[in-house]
Each structure stands twice: as C-alpha cells, then as structure tokens.
Structure 1
Amino acid sequence: MQLAFHQVDAFSDRPFGGNPAMVYRLDAWLADDLMQRIAAEHNLAETAFLVREGQHWHIRWFTPTTEVPLCGHATLASAHVLFEVYHEAVERLDFICRSGALSVTREGDRLWLDFPAILPSELGASLVVQAALGVEAVDVLSSNELFVVLESEQAVLDCKPDMAALAKLPWPGAIVTAPGSRHDFVSRYFAPAIGINEDPVTGSTHCSLIPYWSRRLGKLGLTAFQCSARGGELFCRLEGERVKIGGNATLVASGTLMLGGAGNLISNL
C-alpha cells in the first residue's frame, strides 16, 4: 500500500516558519495503531488524517505519542492541502472531529478557522505551577489547558519550564501569555505530557486566548504572535461563542509512504 503525504508550514507565508504538520487524505480509515505509528515516524507535533464523509471531512490528529481531540494548525494545514493539492472547488470546508464541528474558510491567501470559544476560569496562584514553569505569574487560570498570565512579552520569551515537572501536572499542556509589544498578545505552549516539549504555533490554544484577551482588552478583533523559535502570526476574532483564527500556510514537501511487509514503513520524499 502507498499513501501520499503532504507537509505544510501552518501560520506562515514562507517555508521554515510557523508550525509544520503532516497531512494524509485517505479513502478509508487505517487502524488506530498504524496511524499512531505513522505520526511517530514523521515526528512532527501533529499528523492529520482525513476521510470524506458525505459533505464534510472527518479529521483526526496524532502527536508522536497520542491522539488529541483538537488541533488548529494541522486543521489549517489540512484545508490548505485540500484547496491547493486536491483542488476542492469550494470556499469553505466543513470538518467533524471528537470536539464537534469545525470549518475553514478561504479569504484570498488567508485561511480562517472557526473553532469553539473556551473562556478560562480562575484557578489561583500556585507555587507548584510557577515552579514547573520557572515564572512569577500574574494570574493562573484553567480551561482544557493550564493558562498562565505573565507580566510582559519578555517574561514569556524568558520562560524555561522544567519539562519533567510540567508533565506531571493534571493538564495536557500549559499556555503562557502576556500583552505583546507589536501584537495585542503573545503566547507560548508547552505540552511534554503528550510528547511536545514546545509547540511552534498552536491554533487550539487560541480558543481560550482570544476570549480572555478580548475581555481584558475590550476588543473583538485581535492580533497574536506565538513567540516560539519558529514563531507564527495569528489574526483573531471573537464572534459570540466561536473564535475565528486566521493565518497563512505554505506547502513545503510531498511524498509517498509505502507500507511494506509486517507493517514496515518506508517513506519517499
């Protein structure tokens, strides 16, 4: 069996920026353990698998170690592949996943994710959390992720977590965020518990970041920057109980994965 794959740098208008994701458009689902092995083979933050079901696409995402319920950058990458490689003749793609219904709309060169808004709730200062992240927190909140507000963009840049300690906390990962110098807010995301020490650009964390900063800054439209080593710019809108997350995407590689005997994997790029 041969499977085509496509690697996309999401939230970047050029190669080697943003967050890389691998995308597979399948005719039918592979076994779960095989998809997990493929994701581990590529060793990117996420590998997305798509199967058309009626008028929408069923999408699943795997880190190198586990399946996750929601992923923004790999959804953006998947939409880019469907539009640019497979020439889907629509302006909006509808997806279904474990977290519900999602969509991606094309507006010029920019793609817009439509995700649920998740307003984080107050958790209170925690010495354990601050020690794991190596920070002095202004505020600590919780949504589906640990959500830690810092004083400044420089404090976010300077954050050096203890990954072993962070992996023991009862959240998949930790968002650190602060007001930005050139953007409304900045963030970083660490998730060693699911095999990602630091994610370069994370769409799904903005489900919480956008409503938090919208309320704090009194704005519905926001600009954001995830200040990892690769970095990525996100354009954000709060629309009721939904968030819109806009960004560019760049196809950087396509190839073939060949499944040999006994499930052996051979990738040709």
Structure 2
Amino acid sequence: MQLEIFQVDAFSAVPFGGNPAAVIPLEQWLPDDLLQRIAEENNLSETAYFVRNGEVFDLRWFTPAVEVDLCGHATLAAAWVLFEQLGERAEVLRFSTRSGELRVSRAADGRLAMDFPAKQPVAVDMPEGLLAALGLGAARAVYRSDDYVVMIGDASLLDALEPDFVALSAFDVRGIAVTAPGRGFDFVTRWFGPRVGVNEDPVTGSAHTSLAPLWAQQLGKQVLRCEQGGARKGQLSCEVSGNGRVIILGQAALFLQGVLFV
C-alpha cells in the first residue's frame, strides 16, 4: 500500500523553523496499530491523519508513543496541506476530533487561524521535585491544566534549561510548560513532554489553549504575541475573547512531500 505524506514546518514561514509535523491524507481509516507504527517510524512529535467525512474532516494525531486528544501544530499542518497542496476551496475547514470540532480559516494577513477550546489553568502548590527536574531554583507560580505550567520571571533562563527527562516523566500530566514574559514577545515558553514520547516540542499549539488565557489574565491583554522553543523556535499569535475559545494564528512551510510504502 502506498500513502502520500507531507512534512510541514508549522508556526514558521520558512523550512527549518517552527515545529515539524507529518500529514497523511487517507481515503479510509487504517488499523490503529498501523497508524501508531507509522508515527513511530516518522519519529516526529506528531503525525496527523485525516479522512474526509462529508463536509467535515475526521482528524487524529499520534506521537511516536501514543494518540493524543489535541495537537495544534499538526492541525495547522493538516489545514495547510488541504489549502495549499490538495486544493481545498472551503473558506473554513471543519475538523472532527477527540477535542470536539476545530475550525481553521485563512486570516486577512495570509496566516491560518485555528479556533480551539480555551482552558483556564488552576494555581496549585509546586509539586515536589518539579523544580529540580527542570533545573530551576525558583518559580513565580505553578498552574495545572493538561500540563503543569511553571511561570518564571526571567526569560533568559529558558534557553539554558536542561531538564531531567526521566524525572519529568514521573509527573502525572501530559507535559510541563515553562513560561516567562519578555524577549520581544508577550510571553515565551518551552514545553517538555517525555510522558507522551516527546522530550521537547518546539512549538505546542495545544499548550497555548492554556497559556494564552493565563497570560491574558496576567497582562490584561486579549491579543498576545508568543514564541516557543529552545534551539529551534517558532512564533504564533493568540486571541483570547472570553467566549471559551482561543484563536491561534501561525504560518507553515512545506519541507518534504513523498510516498510511504506500508
């Protein structure tokens, strides 16, 4: 069997930036174990698969280790492939997912705008051992949603982080985001997810469904400019309107197009 595959760098205008995702269009669903093995073989943080279902696309995301409930950068990549490579003419793409219906449209400036459900992180006590696992001496606060969100005051500390991924994998959350204000953006972040098979994700769109409402509250702003990543970085914007949704905007660039033989 031959399957078309695209590798797209999401949240970047050019290749070699942002977060790479594999996108594989399907005529019908393949067995779950095969979808997982393909994602493992791709060895990217996410492989996205979609199947057209009338006017909607059923969309699923797999890390090399597990299927996940929500992935932002692979949704952006899938929408970009549909618009730019497969000639989809709909003004708004509707994706049916584990996280409900997600919609992606073209913004006026040419970026893609993803309409995602917002999540409001809850302040919690610092879990024992978390700062040590991250290699941090202190933090301003810690919050919990799908991830632990560790807020620090100095953005310059982010690039130097060298977490203990084995220790981080023991915490019962999807991942750990470390975030700070500044460096030319409203906030900057690094995200670590060894528990789901991704030690570090360069740009995690789904994490911004929690990060954006948190920083909107902290900064008193509805429109936020954001950057995420360590050695490899990507940029995005978030709009928090207070209606329980977050609009996440970004660009994408094609790196690879080919055929899988399975």
The alignment's TM-score, normalised by the length of structure 1, stands at 0.94
Contact 1:10–1:19 at 8 Å: present in 2 too?
yes
Q: Give 1:208 deviation, angstroms.
A: 0.4
Q: Give 1:228 deviation, angstroms.
A: 2.1
Contact 1:66–1:194 at 8 Å: present in 2 too?
yes
Q: Secondary structure at the match of 2:44?
A: coil
- CA-based RMSD of the aligned residues comes to 0.9
- Picking from 216, 240, 245, the partner of 1:242 is 245
Q: Give 1:139 deviation, angstroms.
A: 0.5
Q: Give 1:201 deviation, angstroms.
A: 0.7
Structure 2 gaps, min length 5: none
How many pairs align?
259
Distance, in Å, in 2 between the alignment partners of 1:103 and 1:151 is 34
Q: Give 1:138 deviation, angstroms.
A: 1.0
Match in the other structure for 1:75: 75
Distance, in Å, in 2 between the alignment partners of 1:227 and 1:65 is 21
Distance, in Å, in 2 between the alignment partners of 1:2 and 1:127 is 49
Match in the other structure for 2:127: 126
Aligned partner of 1:158: which letter? A
Contact 1:201–1:231 at 8 Å: present in 2 too?
yes
Distance, in Å, in 2 between the alignment partners of 1:227 and 1:43 is 18
Distance, in Å, in 1 between the alignment partners of 2:118 and 2:162 is 28
Contact 2:159–2:231 at 8 Å: present in 1 too?
no
Distance, in Å, in 2 between the alignment partners of 1:151 and 1:230 is 22
Match in the other structure for 1:14: 14
Q: Give 1:109 deviation, angstroms.
A: 2.3
Match in the other structure for 1:168: 170
Distance, in Å, in 2 between the alignment partners of 1:198 and 1:228 is 9
Q: Secondary structure at the match of 2:13?
A: coil
Q: Render the CA deviation track for 1:164-183: whole Å, top value 9, x for unaligned.
A: 00001111110100102200
Q: Give 1:158 deviation, angstroms.
A: 2.1
Match in the other structure for 2:39: 39
Q: Render the CA deviation track for 1:197-236: whole Å, top value 9, x for unaligned.
A: 1001110000000000000000001100003211001111
Q: Give 1:124 deviation, angstroms.
A: 1.6
- Picking from 143, 157, 160, the partner of 2:159 is 157
Are residue 207 (structure 1) and residue 209 (structure 2) matched?
Answer: yes
Q: Secondary structure at the match of 2:39?
A: helix
Q: Secondary structure at the match of 1:253?
A: strand
Distance, in Å, in 1 between the alignment partners of 2:223 and 2:101 is 23
Aligned partner of 1:27: which letter? E
The alignment's TM-score, normalised by the length of structure 2, stands at 0.97
User: Matches of residues 1-269 of structure 1 in structure 2 within 5 Å?
Assistant: 1-107=1-107, 108-135=109-136, 136-239=138-241, 240-259=243-262
Distance, in Å, in 2 between the alignment partners of 1:104 and 1:44 is 22
Q: Give 1:161 deviation, angstroms.
A: 1.0
